Structure 1
Amino acid sequence: MRIFVWLFRAFIFFALFAFALNNSQEATVRWFFGHEWRAPMVIIVLLAFGCGAALGVLAMVPAWWKHRRVAQRGGDIAPAVSDAPTPTEVQTPSGVRDGL
């Protein structure tokens, strides 16, 4: 099984490497007010991915802090179990019998 994991990782690496080689031409990013930035397309894609990953991590920080605080207190994060009756506690309407 471990060999399959390493083969999968190698495949991903070579696929991304081929993507980088195929997209080495220069691209232009046009900003506001006439500013533009020229760089290889692979650098632009890498920066866009990195910025998206960083924003995702930053968006998760408050939730991580909350979970950390609750874990340090020894509490439970999950909401309390509802007071809904269990299937054995459910009563049938009057006049209705099972099996008849």
Structure 2
Amino acid sequence: MTAITWAVRLVIFSFLLLFALQNTDPVNLNFIFGQIWQAPLVIVLLAFFAGGALLGVLSLLGVIYRQRREISRLKRAASETKAAAVVVPEPPAV
């Protein structure tokens, strides 16, 4: 299984390397005020991919933080309930 995983990784890396080597032509990034940036296409794509990934992670931080607070609150409540539980002995069998 490890060999298959490394083979897939090697194929993906080779594909991305060839993509990067074929897309080195400079592109202009234009916005409202005119040209902002000129860089190779692969750098522009990488920058926007990284920016999108960063925005995705930042958008999930609030949800993750809220879930962790809820989990800690539930664990605290469960431990308090377990500590307050009274053990009732079984009645003797007739």
> What TM-score results when the alignment is normalised by the length of structure 1?
0.71
Q: Identify the residue that residue 7 of structure 2 maps to in structure 1.
A: 7
Structure with the bigger RCO (C-alpha within 8 Å, sep 6+) is 2
Structure 1 unaligned regions, length at least 5: 76-100
The 5 Å alignment of 1:1-100 reads 1-74=1-74
CA deviations on 1:59-99 (whole Å, 9 max, x unpaired) are: 10111001110111235xxxxxxxxxxxxxxxxxxxxxxxx
Q: Whose helix proportion is higher, 1 or 2?
A: 2
Give the TM-score taking structure 2 as reference length.
Answer: 0.75
RMSD, aligned α-carbons: 1.1
Residue correspondences, number: 75
Q: Percent identity?
A: 37
Q: Is the 8 A contact 2:28 2:35 kept in 1?
A: no
The Cα offsets for residues 29-62 of structure 1, whole Å up to 9 and x where unpaired, read as 0022123311000100000000000000011011
* AA in 2 matched with 1:73: R
Structure 2 unmatched ranges of 5 or more:
76-94
